[in-house]
Amino acid sequence: MAQVTLKGSPVPLEGNIPAAGDKAPEFKAVRQDLSEFGLKDYEGKVKILVAVPSLDTSVCAIETKVFNEKAANLNGISTLIISGDLPFAMKRFCSTEGIDSPNLVTGSQYRDFSFSKAYGTHIAGGPLKGLSARAVFVVDKNDVIRYVELVPEIGSEPNYAAALAAANAAL
């Protein structure tokens, strides 16, 4: 079981984080229109899977905006932002921030947490219990994981350049 920190305090995670070279686990998430999607819906594309606790936090908001700015217009790459937010809150956030690229999809795991549990980012204790730790996974066209970053401090941003380089290399 992995662990991250929140403002320096240990936060335990549930499950195992897949490694580069592993087959990406399937998951379910809910779009803003309440329809479900999973990894299989992006078959044949490179996927940047971005796990965040909530778009209502400043770091998650910044991260989503940066991925929208840097990755949403890259051909052949889909960026999937997965959080614990309800789809209505995600829709409001995207509308307010002008995020409307078809290549960037927000997904809620409020129905079953299958994403955070399958990817080992499910927070098992502490004040954010039940949400996801911050992580980025790049998955190639064959659904093999090519890049993994579990951000050690929940309040910190990921390494955007490394994730984008991995995504471009997987094209």
DSSP 25: P
Residues 17 and 150 sit within 8 Å (Cβ to Cβ): yes
**Facing residues of 144 across strands?**
23
What stretches of 30-86 show up as alpha helix (H) in DSSP?
58-71
Give the residue numbers spanning the domain of 58: 3-170
List pLDDT tens digits, range 100-132: 999 999 999 999 999 999 999 999 999 999 999
Say which of 51, 60, 118, 148 is annotated catalytic. 60
Does the predicted model carry a pTM greater than 0.75? yes
pLDDT value, residue 72:
83
CA distances from 42 to 73, 96, 131, 137, 149 (A): 16, 26, 24, 14, 21
List pLDDT tens digits, range 50-80: 999 999 999 999 999 999 999 988 999 999 9
Radius of gyration of the chain (CA): 14
60 is catalytic: yes
Q: How far apart are CA 54 and CA 108, in angstroms?
A: 10
Task: Specify the CATH number for the domain of residue 63.
Answer: 3.40.30.10
pLDDT value, residue 159:
98
Q: How many domains does the chain have?
A: 1
**Other Cβ atoms within 10 Å of 8 Cβ, number:** 7
